[in-house]
Amino acid sequence: MKTHFHSLRINPASFKVVRSKMKIRILLPALTFLFTLSQTSVGEPLIEKVPVSTTTGVKSGTKSKNVTFYAMGDVPYAPNEDQLLPKQIADLPLDGRFLIHLGDIKGGAAPCNEEVYIKVSSMLRKAKPPTFIIPGDNEWNDCTNPEAAWKYWEKYFHNFDAHWKYDFAVKRQKARNENFSFKLNGVLFVGINLVGGRVHDAEEWKTRHAQNVDWIELLMKQNRDACHALVIFGHAHPIGNHGDFINPFVTLVKDFKMPVLYLHGDGHKWIKDKPFGTDLITRVQVDQGGIAPPLKITVQSDPKSPFVFDRRLPPVQQPTTVK
């Protein structure tokens, strides 16, 4: 026999007034229990629901001061990397708030056919965390027809993160929509269009570099008192062609007076150094995606160790000695 508690009705008139204090103490808990059941629908749990963030693997109630994310670049290049990249994405741990691809979605010698942009876009869209991407020279200015290549990039990677649901706000620069920013736990993240390769249009480079500086300066002013660290995503290994960006950028950082990470691809080999004449800026060049998994970065509130890196390389196999 099933009892439908929601159909119970408590009629105070049906209870006799009990003068004994002992009997009242016995009846009151029972009345309270029945009244609670009468207000509860059938099958409704008496447990508070815990809200969960729309960002995969991260609860909205989490108050950790650290921010962990993953970064990759310069992948896929070779045919075997067309199988490797989807596996790296599928195996990505769920502790990262987001994934960033630092540009170069193909090898430099490969043609800039539309199929390449479709292929890599499809691969990256299978990632569980929200995924961002910035341009690389191999899919834009190093192409035979940079204008056509840029149209492909915009078609398949414009506002790429909009394919995911997540619990933080993303801003984009009006002058350059591919430049973005967001803030997590007091860390300001900024993506800019800073490519390596050939200078396909000197005036375009000059204008774009100036717009990158303007974007960073604006965000620094807006978030000076709200952040303890800044992470800049670019593609280029900074060289002479980037002086009109690097010099004002370094000046801004010295005035900003907080730790900055410039994270980029382009060079294919791991580099971690401070080449900009100030201890405030750490530069990291990620491993080429075909030789290493996505880099794990954790940004901490500790000013002595603001950036922690885990290359996640497989353990080195020591040769066995035959006796």
Treating both helix axes as pointing N-terminal to C-terminal, what angle do 114-124 and 81-90 enclose, rounded to 10 degrees? 30
Does the domain made of 67-310 have the CATH classification 3.60.21.10? yes
Predicted local confidence at residue 6, as pLDDT: 42
| CA separation for the pair 288, 77 (Å, rounded) | 9
- Torsion, CA 199, CA 204, CA 205, CA 207, rounded to 10: 170
Q: Are strands 307-310 and 295-299 parallel, antiparallel or unpaired?
A: antiparallel
Instruction: Classify the phi-psi angles of 262: left when phi > 0, otherwise alpha if psi is within -120 to 50, otherwise beta.
Output: beta
- Per-10-residue mean pLDDT of the chain, 323 residues long, equals 42 43 44 40 32 37 76 97 98 97 97 98 98 98 98 98 97 98 98 97 98 98 95 94 96 96 98 97 98 97 95 77 57
Q: Is 86 left (phi over 0), alpha (psi -120 to 50) or beta?
A: alpha
pTM confidence score: 0.80
Q: Could you tell me the strand order of the sheet in which 99-101 lies?
A: 131-133, 99-101, 67-72, 295-299, 307-310
- pLDDT at residue number 318: 59
**Residues β-bridged to residue 246:** none
Predicted local distance difference test score (pLDDT) of residue 314: 86
Question: What confidence score (pLDDT) does residue 47 get?
Answer: 28
Instruction: Kindly state the tokens that stand for 78.
Output: 């070779």
| CA–CA separation, 172 and 178 (whole Å) | 7
Listed in order, the ranges of the chain carrying CATH 3.60.21.10 are 67-310
Tokens 């056509």 -> residue: 148
